[in-house]
Amino acid sequence: MERQAVARRLLAEPLLTARRHPDELAVAQTHAEWLVRRFRQVLAYPLTVADGYARLAKQGIVSTVAQPLTRPSGAHFTPRAYTYLALCLAALGEVPPRVTAARVAADVRSAAHEAGIDLDPEERMSERRAFAAAMSRLVDWGVLTETQGTLAAYAADGSTLVEFHVDHDAVSTVVAHPPHATAERDTYLRTMDSAPLLNEAHAAELTIRRLLAETTVLYRDDLEPRQRDWLTHHQWRAVAELGDLLGCDAEIRAEGVALIMPDEAASEVKVTDRATLFPSADPVGQAALMLVERLVGALRVPGGRAHALDVPARLLRDELTDVLSTGPGTGRPWSRTAFSYLPGAEQHQEQILGLLTQTRLMDRPNPGLDPFEGWRLLAAAARYGSGATTAGRETEGPQ
């Protein structure tokens, strides 16, 4: 159903704007009453649907499910890029509807000076790139629309003219929970991780519902006793209500619960959001799937209530090397071209393992100096295994 499709989109992308998402926004406006009511009842997330935007304001379990923002290259935002993002939002509230990158940069420099922060987007290229990364994220969100030139060109050459249309309504809604005065940073972060609750039972119920909706797989062993007990007795009700909101099915096993999105969800996910969809057709997604198949084949898959199995560092290193190999003998006709645009093996490995971590197929609770040490294969990975051992290698046990 179209209202469930837009609910999935809002959960993945909580700000929909008229310029960036006209079709989805139109559906949200048509079904506004149902969406507002269901998000409030099922997840206690307030949803605002206006003429030019729809904003789902998430709260609670922030530290559990928050993902870092990324640059167009895929690299995570640095603290400097986050600072520029905050300063850009402060500056854009005062600019006219059409504005240049140079004007925003000047206003950001002024705002930084007023706040006692030593930042200047035009000081050197590294500063300009961090500023452009923040602006690019606002373009992705629909807050800005490039009308002349590109931020990529501006990042390379600060004299490039780039003009934007500014959606002031969207600017005012980017920050779902406006900052307020607190004595300590940790105090402020704790308020973002809390929500109005009736009692401890309600807290357990709401946390479970949000974890089911926001995480790929919910493992029982990761829950507190009260939460685990609630899930045991009410899992089918929670799954049914989330299914009504999101149009999804569920896979319930002894180890945990996973929501399975419908096939059409694949077409709803942007390329930049590939980590929210697995398996996926992009090169990193395909390599991650290939790695999981190999590891499941090489190791005994965890069963029963044991939801994790250590992956020997040597096995992980060898399998990743094989997956990323572009030489003959890989058995994959796309291997020579699929990774041709990626910059290097080390970043390939980080992207693949990062995707498997985010999708809860692997984790690394005890990282060591060796990037291949401390990894575990989680129970949900079993559904992607072929049941065969890795080609050309004997089955290995823990070492």
When mean pLDDT is compared across 123-132, 246-255, 339-348, 374-383, the lowest value belongs to 339-348
Cα separation, 396 vs 377, in Å, equals: 14
Q: Give every strand in the sheet of 249-252, ordered side by side.
A: 217-219, 256-260, 249-252
pLDDT over 90 at 59, yes or no? no
Write down the pLDDT at residue 279: 78
> Which of these ranges, 73-77, 299-303, 389-393, has the smallest mean pLDDT?
389-393
Percentage of the chain with pLDDT > 70? 80
Is the pLDDT at 254 greater than 70, yes or no? yes
> What pLDDT was estimated at residue 153?
94
pLDDT of residue 265: 65
CA pair distance 124, 131, nearest whole angstrom? 11
> Parallel, antiparallel, or unpaired: how do β-strands 163-166 and 98-100 relate?
antiparallel
The band of 61, judged by pLDDT with boundaries at 50, 70 and 90, is low
Domains (range + CATH), the chain: 2-61+193-265 (no CATH), 79-173 (1.10.10), 278-384 (1.10.10)
Q: Closest by alpha carbon to 315, among 334, 302, 299, 327? A: 299
**From start to end of the chain, where are the E strands?**
15-17, 47-49, 53-56, 98-100, 144-148, 163-166, 217-219, 249-252, 256-260, 308-310, 362-363, 376-378
| pLDDT for the residue numbered 63 | 64
CB 142 within 8 A of CB 25: no
Q: Tell me the mean pLDDT in the region 43-61.
A: 88
Burial class of residue 225 in the structure, from the number of CB atoms within 10 Å of its CB (0-12 exposed, 13-18 middle, 19+ buried):
exposed
**Tokens (6 digits) for 72:** 């167009």
* Positive or negative torsion for Cα 32, 34, 35, 38: positive
Residue 393, pLDDT > 50, answer: no
pLDDT exceeds 90 at position 242: yes
pLDDT at 280: 77
Edge-to-edge strands of the sheet including 98-100?
98-100, 163-166, 144-148
% of the chain exceeding 90 in pLDDT: 45
Least confident span in 45-59, 74-88, 189-203: 189-203
Amino acid letter, 128: R
Which of the two residues, 76 and 61, has the higher pLDDT score? 76
pLDDT at 143: 92
| Confidence band of 301 (pLDDT split at 50, 70, 90) | low
Q: Are 17 and 25 in contact (CB under 8 A)?
A: yes
Q: Which residue bears the tokens 């995707």?
A: 355
| Among candidate residues 358, 233, 230, the one with its CA nearest the CA of residue 288 | 358
pLDDT greater at residue 105 or residue 387: 105
Q: What is the pLDDT of residue 266?
A: 60
| pLDDT for position 327 | 33
If you average pLDDT over residues 79-105, what whole number do you get?
94
For 61, 114, 179, the CA distances from 191, given in Å and listed in that order, are 11, 27, 10
Contact by Cβ (8 Å): 194, 44 = no
**Band of pLDDT at residue 271, cut at 50, 70 and 90:** very low
Q: What digits encode the pLDDT tens for the residues 174-212?
A: 887 766 666 677 777 776 666 555 567 778 888 899 999
- The pLDDT confidence band at residue 68, using thresholds 50, 70 and 90, is confident
CA-atom Rg of the chain in angstroms: 23
The residue ranking higher by pLDDT, 238 or 64, is 238
Query: Tell me, what DSSP letter sits at residue 54?
Result: E
33: exposed, middle or buried (Cβ count in 10 Å: 0-12, 13-18, 19+): exposed
Q: Which of 113-127, 256-270, 311-325 has the lowest mean pLDDT?
A: 256-270
CA-to-CA separations, 306 to 34, 186, 219, 223, 349, in angstroms, rounded? 40, 34, 10, 14, 27
